[in-house]
Amino acid sequence: MSSRWIPLESNPDVLNAWAKKAGMASNVEFGDVYGFDDSLLAMVPQPVKAVVLLFPISKESEARRTKEDSEIATNGQPELDPTILWIKQTISNACGTMGLIHAIANSDVTVAPMSPLAKFIEQCIDKTPEERSKLLETTPLFADIHAQAASSGQSAVPTNLDTDLHFTCFVAAPSPKGEKRLIELDGRRNGPIDRGACTDLLKDAAQTIQNLYVGESQSMQFNVMSLGPRHTD
């Protein structure tokens, strides 16, 4: 990977600080998902536009990643919506910014015209995932936004930038056949991953996270956040 950024802390304040600077509309925000029970999912403001997961990289998760990537390369997967914007991660510790870009760019969230994010998304449309990576590498503004957000968390900025935590993102996208599909967007993978039919983004993403991520790990270092309407008391 080409360079190293400070890891983003996984809390809504940090993600919202990043999103505000990048140009996301003020009527939506990232918020915590406190659990997978129906009663806890019901507390999440609707409609959910995207789900962001922070998970620990482990031997189990790496083995599953290798197996899944191999199976997709060999057997393919359902045809994906060609408008999905996915970026290959080439910057170490940039997975937080990658997850945020994937979440916002692949939902119907409003982005301010001429904002850094709007300009970046427009420039990415006709580029390959690798060309998008190079664009991210050479856009200092995103490195600056990432650094400012990383420094705004509740924890002290680490002196050791090595981390075994990683962000991924889930969105709903139409298939060429017209049905909604749950799509995982992770810059460390070989492309977008179809996770099956999607009737309720939050519930379907929660079930996938439980089955694929939490179920294979003994770690407690998971955090799930949703992108949706700004919470009002």
Instruction: Write out the catalytic residue numbers.
Output: 95, 166
State both tokens at 35. 């659990």
State both tokens at 67. 């197996």
**What is the C-alpha separation between 57 and 59, in angstroms, rounded?**
7
Is residue 20 classed exposed, middle or buried when 0-12, 13-18 and 19+ CB atoms within 10 A define those classes?
Answer: middle
**Is cis: bond before 78, omega within 30 of 0?**
no
**What is the C-alpha separation between 50 and 70, in angstroms, rounded?**
26
State both tokens at 62. 């790496």
Place of tokens 């993102």: 169
Distances (CA, A) of 49 to 31, 46, 167, 210, 222: 12, 8, 17, 19, 20
178: DSSP letter? S
**What is the C-alpha separation between 95 and 106, in angstroms, rounded?**
16
